[in-house]
Amino acid sequence: MAVLDRKVLRDVRRMWAQVLAIGLVMACGVMTLIMAQGAYRSLRETQEVYYDQYRFGHLFVNAKRIPKSVVRSFHSLEGVQAVEGRIDAPAILEMEGMQEPGAGYVMSLPVGKLPDVNRPYLREGRLPQASSTREVAIEERFAKAHDLRAGDSFSAIIHGNRVHLRVSGIMLSPEFIYALGPGDLIPDSKRFGVFYMSQKALEALMDMEGAYNSVSLRLLRGACEACVKRQIDQALLPYGSTGAYGRKDQVSNSFIDAELKQLESMSRVMPPVFLLVSAFLVNMILTRLIALEREQIGLLKACGYSSWQVAFHYSKLVILISFVGLSIGMFAGAQIGKGLTHLYSQFFSFPFLVFKQSVDLYLIGIVVSAGSALLGAAKAIYGAASLPPAVAMRPPAPEKFRSVMALKQGDGKFLSQLTVMGLRHFIHSPLRSLMTMFGIAFAGAMAVMALFFVDSINAMIDLSMTRAERSDAQVQLIDDMRPSVLDEIQRLPGVFMAEPVRQEAVIFHHGAVSKRGSILGRLTHSNLSRTLDENNNPAPLPEHGILLPQRLAEQLNVGLGQTLRVEFPSLAGLQKSVRVAGFSSSYLGLAAAMRLERLNRLMGQGPRINAAAFDMDESQAPQLYEAIKSTPGLLSISMQVLSKKMFRKHMDQNTVTMVSVYFIIAVIVAFGVVYNSIRIQLSERGRELASLRVLGFTSGEVFKVMLVEMGAIVVLAQPLSWFVGYGFSVVMINGFANDMYAMPLVIHNKTYAIASIVVFVSALFCAGLAWLRVSKLDLISVLKSRE
């Protein structure tokens, strides 16, 4: 090994704490890159292969009743590759060992063949026979949750008919990778199951002979999706279609896409920031190292080493620092990536899901992290290489300080000489102070991000499930019924209060923009199911017109008092004009609201409802659940009270992990920045501090000089960290938002306070380490050595 390389190794060993501190920050960048990009690629590739092999549809449409001949005619549309008609139905499930009713979604299988679109992946057993009216193939997760195998049975209420079903096989469906039950916020495989039945069975149960109520289509590569969609909408107008929609609006697909989008943006935004901070740290220590080794550089050149050799020598040091970061980052990235993929398998139902380790990702990691570190060191290395040997042998000229805050006599009471010293150092190298501030702010921002998520989720739950949708459960009725049905529901055991709801799928039109959505008709002073205004206060329903969700209004580009057209697919495309009477905040779905009687009148009908919301006495839950299962006329049920509990449980389990990961990262960054800054300060000013000690100042007083400078930076970094944290949170919130789901941006003051405390504690810990050094300052040797 060349002697200069030994020097590199010894330099790294000597500065191990600083090298490790920088390496860890760099490791965070590499880790995020490998973890997020790795998970992104795994998920994306699995999704693509699965969609392709199991023929996931491009267009989907639901209607009341579509004659089979109409569905057949879609084959001739230009750009259509395959068409599959189906009978779909919600179901209420009676599962053994579960008191509350479960929710199900049943789909029919074509006769004598596998579906041409949305083909199930059979894991075990077989699909139901065409002639069987009792056989079902159930989704794997649901099967696992209830420990069901082929041959087992359970009962369900489909379209008001109680049926005993026998499991013929276990399958997965590309349509239900993320299987969200009615009213649920996250998949709950215990309470929601998807299954296939024979067409014959569903035709009988749903009274749908010769017709379908759902169609999926696969398009040819390069086909015009909008054109096909337009033709389908036109053709299905008489059949109560709710409008064709693409993959973007398909629930399961849109959740996967949202996750993918988030991973992708994470892998693009986070690593550069970490690498920027580590590049700055490399710059800081290398600048100092080269200043300290000025004469050694001069000597190397005097011995005949070329500028290139000197530059290469220091570059090796930088590469070694990167190597530390890379090794830790790659290892952690691969491990956490595996963990993340494992986490996905809890929510996403894929037949296969492997964490993808691509070589190119590691190469990118190596190039980007070593590159950024070298870039950070470039100026210092260039300085070393271009230092003329004769100049290098002379000590550097004393640094110039500005006489800011010059002390006059008597000022001493306010600012001591020592304080002024500290503050002047702070101003002396403004760029470094700024970068240090930015690094600390980034650490604080990470802590803000960890907690903001909890704040915002809690706010969303509070707003949508406590303030707006306050009912414990909602039942959908099989047909539109007279409001008198409410009395029956009210009489069920344990029901405190029930309110009527009419939910109509509609298409909103304004100008050239059309948007699928729904209108909720409610009581004027509805208590259980309320609409919140833009400030999240309960809003009374207006006498005339409609309350439109803010997000929908933005998409439709419609203002207050303007009129929009509402199309009712269930009424053969009947269109009506409605005035926008106000805006509402809505985080789950895009439902507009109006008075029930106004909605009925708009649709040209008498008093009708199709759902009911109610409050229940939990102590009577078992009796209520039994009664619901045997109440005729119920199509499906959503149990908000259980969805909320499930979601809370899930959040409690995962929040701790997530917050700890972010906190660890925040501490790593704060420590990396503060520790290195203090070490550099100590190195640059050891002489000055020792001189102060010689003059008779105590260690504590001397330490104050350092504390003033670092303290000023840490304190000034706090508002910046809140601001950066807020910015990151905005980006994250926007990344989440889609038509189904949006989160309010809520950051409590407590969150900012905790984030700052995390940074302060890390900084104080570093200060403690510095104090150990200051108190041991060897006065004689420092003063004897040449600067």
Instruction: List residues near another protein by CB under 8 A.
Output: 2-4, 6-7, 10-11, 14, 295-296, 298-307, 388-390, 393, 397, 786
Pick the closest to residue 592 from 545, 549, 534 (CA basis): 549
**10 or 230: CB nearest another protein:** 10
Q: Which is nearer to another protein, 698 or 781 (CB)?
A: 781
State in angstroms the smallest separation of the CB of 348 from another protein: 53
Residue 300 beta carbon to another protein: minimum distance, rounded to whole angstroms: 7
CB nearer to another protein: pick between 188 and 293 = 293
Answer for the pair 59, 216: CB distance below 8 angstroms, yes or no.
yes
Closer CB to another protein, 111 or 390, in the complex: 390
Minimum distance from residue 33 beta carbon to another protein (Å): 34
Q: How far is the CB of 324 from another protein (least distance, A)?
A: 18
Nearer to another protein by Cβ, of 303 and 359: the residue is 303
- Residues shown for the chain: 787
The tokens describing 271, both together, are 């690593």
Residue number with CB closer to another protein (30 or 300): 300
Closer CB to another protein, 394 or 491, in the complex: 394
Q: How far is the CB of 287 from another protein (least distance, A)?
A: 19
Round to the nearest angstrom and report the end-to-end CA distance of the chain.
Answer: 30
Report, in Å, the least distance between residue 402 CB and another protein. 16
CB of 12 vs another protein, minimal distance in Å: 10
- Residue reference for tokens 């420990």: 147
In whole angstroms, what is the distance from residue 580 CA to residue 642 CA?
A: 34
Q: At what angle do helices 640-695 and 417-428 cross, to 10 degrees?
A: 120
How far apart are the C-alpha atoms of 539 and 524, rounded to whole Å?
A: 10
- Measured between alpha carbons, how far is 113 from 125 in angstroms, rounded to an integer? 16
**Residue whose CB is less far from another protein, 269 or 393:** 393
CB of 392 to another protein, least distance (A): 9
Longest dimension (CA), the chain: 103
CB 79 within 8 A of CB 218: no
**Closer to another protein at the Cβ: 121 or 305?**
305
Of the candidates 93, 164, 84, the residue with the CA atom closest to the CA atom of residue 119 = 84
d(CA 594, CA 599): 7
Of 285, 271, 379, the closest CA to residue 25 belongs to 271
φ and ψ of 175, to 5 deg: -80, -20
Contact between 178 and 251 under an 8 Å Cβ cutoff? The reply is yes
Least distance to another protein, CB of residue 20, Å = 18
Q: 306 vs 654, which CB is nearer to another protein?
A: 306
In angstroms, what is the minimal distance from the CB of 774 to another protein?
Answer: 22
**HEC string for 512-562:** CEEEEEEEEEECCCCCCECEEECCCCEECCCCCCEEEEHHHHHHHCCCCCC
Please, which residue, 14 or 544, has the CB nearer to another protein?
A: 14
Which stretch of DSSP H or E encloses residue 240?
none
Min dist CB 432 to another protein, Å, is 23
Q: Which two tokens stand for residue 507?
A: 């298409």
Q: How many CA atoms lie within 13 A of 297 on its CB side?
A: 29
CA distance 519 to 507: 10
Closest C-alpha to 750, from 455, 526, 390: 455
Q: Which of 756, 775, 664 is nearest to 715 (CA)?
A: 756
- Residue 383 Cβ, how far from another protein at the closest point, in Å? 16
CB nearer another protein, residue 14 or residue 649: 14
Residues 6+ apart with CB under 8 A from 114: 120, 127
